[in-house]
Amino acid sequence: MAFDYEKFIRPGKLPHIWCPGCGHGIVMKGLIRAMDTLNLVKEETAIVSGIGCASRLPGYIDCCTLHTAHGRAAAFATGVKMAKPEMNVILVGGDGDGTAIGGNHFIHACRRNINMTYIILNNYIYGMTGGQFSPCTPTGHKASTTPYGNPDPGFDIAKLAIGAGASFVARGTAFHANQIDKLITEAIQHKGFSVVEILDDCPTTYGRRNKYKSVIEMMNRLKEVAVPVKAAEKMTAEQLQGKVLTGVLHKVERPEYCEEYAKVIERAGGNK
């Protein structure tokens, strides 16, 4: 299938700010393919982000786009969605933005199960500020603020989202480019709060500090660690050591927040 990228790219806003070798552009293309597949109406679609490299993505997409403050995308987006439940609301951001400074809004958006899709580009680092460790930086790895190795354990974003109540959780990688749009498409179609974590690379601030000799090496790592959920069913715990499950990890039906609030309005007599 041929995709209409031009339709969704904002005229005159490219080139993007991302470094050569960064996977964010791959994810953006995946998002556009999903939007094209679903034939989303641009005027009826809001793309909301926080602060960071990934959060610059909405500026390149020709929709209602809202580049908010650090960590606050989910809370701004909740306001937009509550005010206009008929809009498609898609959130984009990085691992630091979403799980550190924005962690509270993230888990509560999951809990409410409000019908929005949150795409988290997890490159394990704060890239825009120069490579400080994030809640997703693996233990022992180096960042500009963990020169002796990171003592912190990292978050598993997908488990966090499932635990907090998101009704759809998927994971892909920037290497598996053709899977990204399928995951995002299914996430947008799902009614409720959907989270798509995309494991990504940051050669500039993460790779070079952690002995990755090239972008290709970083991409190959994503290829090697990813195990599709179906394949994992046939693997032993030993075989799964150090691997990361990809695909749709969690999908349940649960009451959606805006629909539940519509019932509140009905009970209060406000729909007369």
Spatial contact of 171 and 251, defined as CB atoms under 8 Å apart: no
Q: Total residues contacting other proteins (rule CB under 8 A)?
A: 42
Q: Does 243 engage in binding with other proteins (CB under 8 A)?
A: no
Cβ contact 221:243 at 8 Å: no
Answer yes or no whether residue 15 interacts with other proteins by CB under 8 A.
Answer: no
Shortest gap between Cβ of 263 and other proteins (angstroms)?
10
DSSP β-bridge partners for residue 9: 61
Nearest in space to 198 (alpha carbons), one of 14, 8, 30: 30
CB of 265 to other proteins, least distance (A): 5
Closest CA to 245 of 172, 180, 154, 169: 172
Identity of the amino acid at 266: E
Token output for 166: 């998101």
Q: Which stretch binds other proteins (CB under 8 A): 102-110, 124-132, 141-149, 197-205?
A: 102-110
Asked whether position 57 contacts other proteins by CB under 8 A, the answer is no
The residues, any chain, with a CB within 8 Å of residue 85's CB and separated by 6 or more, are: 115, 258, 262
Which range in 18-26, 58-66, 131-139, 222-230 contacts other proteins by CB under 8 A? 58-66
Angle between helix 24-37 and helix 177-189 axes, rounded to 10 deg: 50
Q: Least separation, in Å, of the C-beta of 98 and other proteins?
A: 14
Of 210-229, binders to other proteins (CB under 8 A) are: none
Residues in contact with other proteins by the rule CB under 8 A: 10, 13, 42-44, 46, 48, 58-59, 62-69, 72, 75-84, 86-87, 104-105, 107-108, 261, 264-265, 267-271
